[in-house]
């Protein structure tokens, strides 16, 4: 199909499609003449993925390009491929000062031991967790850190479901895709479900009339 049809079928405006082509998010179509190229269903599927990463996942164009590159060139070995796929969706923000980071890292490693998680000390996911934990401490939100094990238990249940879904994928490409999309969209899903459940628990705690119609913010 030509770019106009790709635009109609995907709902993505032609100038936007050309922008994705220039940015390397979308692979070029097959040239059919000097000014025309032919696109196929892979482009349509890829466009859906791009929109999901940008609009639903909230990724920047640069990060979306990294995610797509990881999908297009997976390394060998299931655990390693999944690790690489996971890397693309681990956020790294430097927030804490060095002392806070060191303390927080020790706290995370303590948590890993208590949960019996098989994760090495130098895992990027340890560093990412320590960064947030240090931020919570620096803001004086010690109460959240005190309930770390409660949150970790919920995260363990979520991750067990995640990996159960990943392992059902027929091949390693599909598994890597499930890790990336499952994490990006799955984060958005969990955030939404958490808010939904919070409305319920807020109504339970703070309204006398617990009937849904009396709930001022739904």
Determine, following the binding rule CB under 8 A, whether residue 198 of this chain makes contact with a second copy: yes
Tokens representing 81 are 């491929």
Determine, following the binding rule CB under 8 A, whether residue 115 of this chain makes contact with a second copy: yes
Determine, following the binding rule CB under 8 A, whether residue 107 of this chain makes contact with a second copy: no
Exactly one of 67, 68, 71, 126 binds a second copy (CB under 8 A); that residue is 126
Q: Which is nearer to a second copy, 17 or 130 (CB)?
A: 130
Supply the minimum distance, in Å, between the C-beta of residue 62 and a second copy: 14
CB neighbours (10 Å) of residue 202? Answer: 12
Determine, following the binding rule CB under 8 A, whether residue 25 of this chain makes contact with a second copy: no
Supply the minimum distance, in Å, between the C-beta of residue 100 and a second copy: 11
Pairing of strands 37-38, 30-31: antiparallel
Rounded CA-CA distance 105/123 in Å is: 11
Residues contacting 148, CB < 8 A, separation 6+? 107, 111, 133
Helix locations, 52-171, DSSP H: 61-72, 78-87, 98-115, 124-138, 142-146, 148-167
Exactly one of 1, 21, 37, 188 binds a second copy (CB under 8 A); that residue is 188
Q: Which is nearer to a second copy, 22 or 62 (CB)?
A: 62
Exactly one of 93, 98, 99, 170 binds a second copy (CB under 8 A); that residue is 93
Furthest-apart CA atoms within the chain: distance in Å? 71
* Cβ 56 vs Cβ 185: under 8 Å: yes
Determine, following the binding rule CB under 8 A, whether residue 154 of this chain makes contact with a second copy: yes
Determine, following the binding rule CB under 8 A, whether residue 137 of this chain makes contact with a second copy: no
String of contacts with a second copy for each residue 49-88, x by CB under 8 A? x-xx--xx-x------------------xxxx-xxx-xx-
């Amino acid at each position: 199909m030509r770019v106009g049809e790709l635009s109609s079928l995907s709902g993505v405006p032609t100038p936007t499609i050309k922008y994705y082509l220039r940015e390397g998010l979308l692979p070029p179509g097959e040239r059919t003449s000097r000014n025309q190229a032919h696109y196929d269903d892979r482009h349509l599927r890829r466009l859906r993925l791009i929109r999901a990463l940008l609009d639903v996942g909230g990724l920047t164009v640069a990060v979306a390009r990294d995610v797509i590159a990881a999908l297009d060139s997976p390394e060998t070995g299931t655990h390693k491929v999944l690790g690489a796929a996971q890397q693309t969706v681990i956020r790294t923000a430097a927030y804490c000062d060095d002392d806070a980071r060191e303390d927080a890292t020790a706290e995370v490693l303590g948590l890993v031991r208590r949960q019996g998680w098989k994760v090495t000390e130098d895992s990027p996911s340890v560093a990412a967790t320590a960064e947030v934990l240090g931020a919570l401490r620096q803001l004086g939100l010690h109460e959240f850190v005190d309930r770390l094990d409660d949150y970790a238990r919920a995260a363990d249940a979520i991750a067990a479901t995640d990996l159960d879904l990943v392992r059902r994928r027929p091949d390693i490409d599909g598994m890597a895709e499930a890790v990336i999309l499952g994490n990006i969209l799955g984060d958005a899903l969990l955030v939404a479900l958490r808010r939904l459940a919070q409305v319920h628990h807020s109504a339970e705690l703070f309204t006398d009339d617990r009937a849904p119609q009396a709930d001022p913010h739904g």
